Amino acid sequence: MKITNSVTEYIQKNLMRKNAHWALKDGKWFFEIFPGIWAHQESFDEFFPKYEYRRNPRSGENPDKTYVL
């Protein structure tokens, strides 16, 4: 699992993982890395890892809403 501080990256990468194309050939599952290039299911997490969103610890809350950081 990879960690990201970007909401955009979190959404895009997890959608790519969710929308991967799968095929069953000779009783084994394969996924499409690029158009026309297939890989065995064992390497799926290497190419499409799960992403977890964590807020950047350096971007703290501003307690005084009248003062812009």
Ranges of each domain in the chain: 2-53
End-to-end CA distance of the chain: 33
Q: Which residues contact 16 (CB under 8 A, 6 or more apart)?
A: 48
Closest CA to 4 of 54, 45, 49: 54
Q: How many CB atoms lie within 10 A of CB 61?
A: 5
Quick one: pLDDT at residue 63?
64
pLDDT tens for each residue of the chain, 69 residues long: 899 988 999 999 999 999 999 999 999 999 999 999 999 999 999 999 999 998 876 666 666 667 665
The model carries a pTM of 0.71
CA atoms within 13 A on the CB side of 18: 7
